[in-house]
């Protein structure tokens, strides 16, 4: 089997790495991990593009030689990737000796074959792009990328007969519908080819104007055009053309943003064809990360520092956000509010809460051992089926670089598992002593959680390992957790009864619970949901005109003593499936089984944050049903305006301690 091989762009060293560069490299890392999870050998190449005018000018501005400057910025790129959890790559520099030699060999080969010629030329040169533009390519006389008027330069140069290969490129794109993907970029390239604006490519720069480049093997007065040099990194990084790596890896895949579509979709296939080499399999093109609605750029001062952001919010939540938020191919906006919103909603509330409640229940009901399941009922079969179909969709979409959609289909499963907990109410099964049924429900949950953790390895490697470790599975962020993910789709088991699992889980602490960002991202309120319990019963809802609570009529001591108030520990917390504002709390009051109490806390507390907390509650309140679920008491809160603050004893006390 041939290896899965993909490349990121070889980044210019005229600017420090930012979120845009990090995204492309993270995508390469995740795809490589995904292919390794499918049992393939896989790796990628990334690196730095260091020759050319742009770098010379940036070095000058910094008072350094091009070499010193390139060493410094290239070092920043090189150090960044492992810090973002990225692995399985080779880091190549266009100034590496073996790359320089490789470029010279290819130039010689193409020159010998007659596809490089010398000619006098006058053209519009854009220093930003470091290339000539034809009249037709300019927009209103300006470079379409930099919106600047190019300089008219007349000089003798070497040209690559690219025009000779354009008809072949066109037919190759037509015959291979996913050669350039997503579709919109394929259409764009076909339109570019049809417009007839592409000509032969000037591939040299006279040394009189630029010396920081690879000298042409057939004319020492010239250096090679930076794109002809940089594109060849994709091959030079694989070693000699007759070597094992090249044979196993080529043709590979490329990953770029839309800014460099043309060199990859036109120049590069033509160069490969002229060198007698097979063309790549796929060009995967993504959109831009925007910051304050504009493409991130150093000059606009809107760049996002990937490392700073990852350190602030965690590498894996940051990675998850990038994959979930950007629909591959389209632009996406980055903001900390959006990042916090995803962390709180998808990670803390959905995924983190699932792990926290299921593991604490397993600790409680089965001393943290995976129980032996018994006969499955219809509701269980539905979860098992959903697990297979979600994993199937996830792997299919991920392989087609539709990351956001892949994660969405996995989250359908995560949300369904939370609902399954609510509908099966393990605490009620425990209370009824129905241990067979309880074992089946808990087994299904734990086994499905393992599947979710496996699927997440490419996106959140560290967290996936933590999840697997919590489920008693050996895991390592650098090696795939299973030999073949496809086997996991077709069989449900995979988790042995008796395995010891963690008693607690706190995977994603909720961020800014009191903050603005959370309010903005909160789901719209459900109109029909009942008023929170506290609003119906709390006396302080009645206010005097001056805002102070109204005094209530006196009651006798006996009446006060008749209220059974006790301290208990929350063992499970989840959202009410049908009422947005209500949390379903399972609280241990030291009785034979924990009680279920419903409380209007959902807008103020994250379920995951509540598990393990001691609270005070009234136990002998008449039970009542809220949207189908029974409440067996009322937790006490202090109201600051509308905001409830849970009341807890000043020190930890045994569950069931009475409040007097
Ligand atoms: N050196 C060339 C590439 C040569 S490849 C043989 C180059 N370098 S670059 O430093 O400008 O990198 C461009 C790439 O960085 C984009 O194609 C994309 O991968 C990434 N991004 C830079 N800014 C970006 C965004 N704002 N959004 C998403 N990705 C972007 O071009």
Q: Which long-range contacts (CB under 8 A, 24 or more apart) does 94-99 make?
A: 94/10, 94/47, 94/48, 94/49, 94/50, 94/51, 94/214, 94/229, 94/230, 94/233, 95/50, 95/51, 95/67, 95/70, 96/236, 98/236, 98/239, 99/232, 99/233, 99/236, 99/237
Helices (H), 498-630: 516-521, 533-537, 557-561, 607-610
Ligand 1 probe mutation, 7, 230, 257, most atoms within 8 A of CB: 257
Is-contact 372 441, C-beta < 8 A? no
Given the residues 35, 54, 99, 129, select the one marked as catalytic: 129
Ligand 1 probe mutation, 6, 10, 11, 17, most atoms within 8 A of CB: 11
Give the 3-state secondary structure of residue 401. coil
pLDDT for res 543: 33
Peptide bond into 103 cis (omega under 30): no
Strands 215-216 and 219-224: antiparallel
Whose C-alpha lies nearest to ligand 1, atom 7? 11
Q: How far is the CA of 330 from the centre of ligand 1 (A)?
A: 15
Q: How far is the CA of 21 from the centre of ligand 1 (A)?
A: 6
DSSP per residue, 106-164: HHHHHHHTT-EEEEEEEEEEETTTTEEE-GGGSBTTB-TTT-SPPEEEEEEEEEE-GGG
124 flagged as catalytic: no
* Residues 372-423: tens digit of each pLDDT: 999 999 999 999 999 999 999 999 999 999 999 999 999 999 999 999 999 9
Given the residues 298, 419, 536, 543, select the one marked as catalytic: 298
Atom of ligand 1 nearest to the CA of 259: 17
Of 270, 262, 234, give the one whose Cα is nearest residue 160: 270
129 flagged as catalytic: yes
What's the CA gap between 212 and 67, in Å, rounded? 9
List phi, psi (to 5°) of 614: -90, 140
Peptide bond into 143 cis (omega under 30): no
The answer, yes or no, to whether any atom of ligand 1 lies below 6 A from the CB of 78, is no
What's the CA gap between 306 and 467, in Å, rounded? 25
- Dihedral in degrees, nearest 10, Cα atoms 599, 604, 607, 612: -80
Ligand 1 probe mutation, 12, 14, 18, 21, most atoms within 8 A of CB: 21
Q: How far out from the chain centre does Cα 27 lie?
A: 8
Q: How far is the CA of 251 from the centre of ligand 1 (A)?
A: 22
* Residue 584 to residues 423, 596, 650, Cα–Cα distance (Å): 12, 7, 24
Is-contact 447 420, C-beta < 8 A? no
Whose C-alpha lies nearest to ligand 1, atom 25? 20
Sign of CA dihedral 111, 116, 117, 121: negative
- Dihedral in degrees, nearest 10, Cα atoms 73, 74, 77, 83: -100
- Which strands, in side-by-side order, build the sheet including 634-635? 595-599, 579-588, 565-576, 614-618, 634-635
What's the CA gap between 437 and 94, in Å, rounded? 63
Q: What is the CB neighbour count within 10 angstroms for residue 656?
A: 14
Q: What is the CB neighbour count within 10 angstroms for residue 543?
A: 10
Given the residues 136, 146, 176, 519, select the one marked as catalytic: 146
Cβ-proximal residues to 276 (8 Å cutoff; 6+ apart), any chain = 109
The answer, yes or no, to whether any atom of ligand 1 lies below 6 A from the CB of 256, is yes
Is-contact 19 296, C-beta < 8 A? yes
149 flagged as catalytic: no
* Residues 175-215: tens digit of each pLDDT: 999 999 999 999 999 999 999 889 999 999 999 999 999 99
What's the CA gap between 347 and 351, in Å, rounded? 5
Sign of CA dihedral 528, 532, 537, 538: negative
pLDDT for res 553: 67
Atom of ligand 1 nearest to the CA of 258: 17
Burial profile 341-363: b = 16 or more Cβ within 10 angstroms, e = fewer: bbbbbbbbbbbbbbbbbbbbbbb
What's the CA gap between 61 and 71, in Å, rounded? 16
Output helix, strand, coil percentages for the chain, rounded to the nearest 5.
45, 20, 35
262 flagged as catalytic: no
pLDDT for res 535: 26
The answer, yes or no, to whether any atom of ligand 1 lies below 6 A from the CB of 12, is yes
519 flagged as catalytic: no
Given the residues 21, 54, 273, 451, select the one marked as catalytic: 21
Ligand 1 probe mutation, 13, 16, 24, most atoms within 8 A of CB: 24
Is-contact 502 55, C-beta < 8 A? no
Q: How far is the CA of 498 from the centre of ligand 1 (A)?
A: 50
The answer, yes or no, to whether any atom of ligand 1 lies below 6 A from the CB of 44, is no
The answer, yes or no, to whether any atom of ligand 1 lies below 6 A from the CB of 231, is yes
Given the residues 51, 124, 126, 465, select the one marked as catalytic: 126
With both helix axes pointing from N to C terminus, report the angle between 315-325 and 403-424 in degrees, rounded to the nearest 10: 110
Q: How far is the CA of 24 from the centre of ligand 1 (A)?
A: 8
The answer, yes or no, to whether any atom of ligand 1 lies below 6 A from the CB of 411, is no
The answer, yes or no, to whether any atom of ligand 1 lies below 6 A from the CB of 323, is no
21 flagged as catalytic: yes
What's the CA gap between 262 and 293, in Å, rounded? 24
Stated as kind and residue range, the H or E segment containing 253 is strand 253-257
Q: Which two structure tokens, joined as six digits, stand for 615? A: 């609270």
pLDDT for res 542: 31
Q: What angle do CA 420, 426, 430 make, to 5 degrees?
A: 165
Burial profile 483-516: b = 16 or more Cβ within 10 angstroms, e = fewer: eebeebbeebeebeeeeebbeebebbbbbeeeee
Report, as ranges of residue numbers, the positions in the chain whose pLDDT lies below 50.
513-550
What's the CA gap between 361 and 424, in Å, rounded? 13
Q: How far is the CA of 254 from the centre of ligand 1 (A)?
A: 12
Ligand 1 probe mutation, 7, 9, 102, most atoms within 8 A of CB: 9
The answer, yes or no, to whether any atom of ligand 1 lies below 6 A from the CB of 259, is yes
DSSP per residue, 9-76: EEEETTS---HHHHHHHHHHHHHHHHHHHTT--EEEEEEEE--SHHHHHHHHHTTS-HHHHHHHHHHH
The answer, yes or no, to whether any atom of ligand 1 lies below 6 A from the CB of 237, is no
Whose C-alpha lies nearest to ligand 1, atom 18? 257
Whose C-alpha lies nearest to ligand 1, atom 15? 21
Atom of ligand 1 nearest to the CA of 49: 1
Give the 3-state secondary structure of residue 612. coil
* Residue 63 to residues 14, 17, 57, 316, Cα–Cα distance (Å): 13, 20, 10, 38
Atom of ligand 1 nearest to the CA of 288: 27
264 flagged as catalytic: no
Given the residues 54, 143, 286, 616, select the one marked as catalytic: 143
What's the CA gap between 313 and 315, in Å, rounded? 7
176 flagged as catalytic: no
pLDDT for res 213: 98
The answer, yes or no, to whether any atom of ligand 1 lies below 6 A from the CB of 289, is yes
**pTM for this model (two decimals):** 0.82
Atom of ligand 1 nearest to the CA of 15: 10
Beta bridge partners of 224: 204
């Amino acid at each position: 089997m041939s290896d899965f091989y993909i490349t990121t762009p070889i980044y210019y060293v005229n600017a420090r790495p930012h979120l845009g560069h990090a995204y492309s490299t993270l995508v390469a890392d995740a795809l490589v991990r995904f292919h390794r999870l499918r049992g393939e050998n896989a790796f990628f190449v990334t690196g730095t593009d260091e020759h050319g005018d742009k770098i010379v000018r940036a070095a000058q501005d910094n008072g350094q030689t091009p070499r010193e400057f390139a060493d410094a910025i290239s070092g920043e790129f090189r150090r960044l990737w492992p810090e973002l959890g990225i692995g399985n790559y080779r880091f190549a520099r266009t100034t590496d000796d073996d790359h320089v030699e490789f470029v010279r060999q290819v130039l010689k080969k193409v020159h010998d074959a007659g596809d490089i010629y010398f000619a006098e030329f006058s053209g519009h040169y854009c220093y930003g792009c470091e290339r000539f533009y034809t009249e037709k390519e300019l927009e209103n006389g300006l470079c379409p990328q930099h919106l600047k008027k190019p300089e008219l330069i007349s000089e003798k140069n070497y040209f690559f007969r690219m025009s000779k290969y354009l008809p072949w490129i066109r037919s190759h794109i037509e015959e291979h519908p996913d050669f350039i993907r997503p579709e919109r970029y394929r259409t764009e390239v076909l339109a570019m080819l049809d417009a007839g604006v592409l000509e032969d490519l000037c591939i040299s720069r006279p040394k009189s104007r630029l010396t920081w480049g690879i000298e042409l093997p057939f004319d020492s007065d010239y250096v090679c055009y930076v794109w002809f040099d940089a594109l060849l990194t994709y091959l030079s990084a694989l070693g000699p053309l007759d070597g094992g790596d090249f044979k196993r890896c080529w043709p590979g895949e490329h990953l770029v943003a839309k800014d460099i579509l043309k060199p990859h979709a036109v120049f590069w296939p033509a160069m490969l064809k002229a060198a007698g080499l097979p063309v790549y399999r796929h060009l995967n093109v993504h959109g831009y990360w925007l910051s304050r609605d504009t493409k991130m750029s150093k000059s606009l001062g809107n760049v996002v520092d990937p490392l700073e952001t990852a350190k602030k919010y965690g590498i894996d939540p940051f990675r998850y956000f990038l994959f979930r938020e950007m629909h591959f191919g389209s632009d996406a906006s980055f903001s900390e509010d959006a990042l916090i919103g995803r962390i709180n909603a998808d990670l803390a509330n959905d995924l983190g809460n699932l792990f926290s409640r299921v593991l604490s229940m397993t600790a409680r009901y089965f001393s943290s051992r995976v129980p032996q399941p018994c006969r499955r009922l219809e509701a269980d079969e539905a979860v098992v089926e959903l697990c297979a179909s979600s994993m199937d969709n996830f792997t299919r979409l991920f392989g087609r670089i539709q990351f956001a959609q892949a994660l969405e289909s996995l989250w359908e499963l995560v949300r369904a598992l939370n609902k399954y907990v609510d509908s099966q109410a393990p605490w009620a099964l425990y209370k009824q002593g129905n241990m067979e049924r309880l074992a089946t429900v808990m087994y299904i949950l734990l086994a499905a959680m393992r599947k979710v953790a496996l699927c997440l390895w490419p996106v959140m490697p560290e967290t996936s390992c933590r999840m697997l470790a919590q489920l008693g599975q050996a895991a390592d962020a650098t090696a795939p957790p299973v030999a073949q993910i496809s086997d996991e789709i077709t069989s449900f088991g995979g988790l042995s009864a008796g395995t010891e699992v963690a008693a607690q889980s706190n995977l994603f602490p909720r961020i800014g619970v009191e903050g603005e960002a959370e309010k903005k991202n909160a789901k719209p309120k459900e109109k029909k949901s009942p008023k929170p319990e506290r609003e119906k019963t709390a006396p302080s809802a009645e206010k005097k005109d001056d805002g102070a609570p109204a005094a209530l009529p006196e009651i006798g001591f006996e009446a006060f003593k008749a209220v059974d108030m006790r301290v208990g520990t929350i063992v499970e917390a989840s959202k009410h499936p049908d009422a947005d504002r209500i949390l379903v709390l399972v609280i241990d009051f030291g009785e034979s089984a924990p009680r279920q109490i419903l409380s209007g806390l959902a807008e103020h507390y994250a379920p995951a944050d509540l598990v393990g907390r001691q609270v005070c509650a009234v136990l002998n309140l008449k039970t009542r049903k809220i949207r189908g679920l029974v409440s067996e008491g009322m937790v006490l809160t202090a109201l600051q305006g509308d905001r409830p603050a849970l009341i807890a004893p000043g020190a930890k006390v045994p569950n069931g301690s009475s409040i007097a």
